[in-house]
């Protein structure tokens, strides 16, 4: 089996977005979702990303609000959680920001509303160009 360092987080991001959506709409907790150990074994970045977003959501939402004209609750759940996942990676990991933005656009196009990817791109682009500071490396 490949080590986490040798695997791409692409498919893990899909599963994290689906889990964040489930948490938000059904009221499940991350701990309940993480009981499905098969997700963690098939998607090596899944647990770290999911827990990171959930645990840092307040900081993430505060940071994102600096770049948005709309309130977080007014966003479509897919765009809201795509932004949270992207902001988490931008703030707390060493993943290249252009990769994060491209992945966020991909997720928004795949799961979100027709033009939701344009809003996600605009917000993340503003954040990137603002010279935001990474909070930490996980």
The domain spans of the chain are 8-129
The conformational region for residue 6 under phi > 0 = left, psi -120 to 50 = alpha, else beta, is alpha
**CA–CA dist 28, 121 (Å, integer):** 28
Which residues lie below 8 Å from residue 89, measured CB to CB, with a gap of 6+?
A: 49, 95, 100
CATH of 8-129, one of 3.40.50.170, 3.40.50.720, 2.40.50.140, 1.10.940.10: 1.10.940.10
pLDDT, tens only, 44-89: 899 999 999 999 999 999 999 999 999 999 999 999 999 999 999 9
Q: Contact 111/79 with Cβ under 8 angstroms?
A: no
Taking the model in full, what pTM does it have?
0.90
- Alpha carbon 17 to its chain's center: 6
């Amino acid at each position: 089996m490949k080590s986490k360092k040798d695997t791409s987080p692409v498919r893990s991001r899909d599963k994290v977005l689906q889990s964040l959506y489930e948490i938000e709409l059904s009221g499940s907790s991350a701990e309940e979702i993480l009981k499905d150990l098969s997700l963690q074994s098939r998607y090596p970045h899944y647990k770290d990303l999911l827990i990171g977003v959930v645990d840092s959501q307040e900081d993430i939402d505060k940071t994102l609000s600096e770049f948005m004209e709309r309130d977080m609750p007014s966003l479509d759940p897919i765009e809201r959680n795509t932004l949270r996942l992207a902001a988490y990676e931008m703030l707390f990991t060493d993943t290249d920001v252009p990769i994060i933005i491209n992945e966020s656009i991909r997720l928004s196009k795949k799961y979100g509303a027709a033009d939701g990817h344009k809003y996600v791109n605009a917000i993340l682009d503003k954040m990137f160009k603002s010279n935001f500071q990474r909070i930490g490396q996980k």
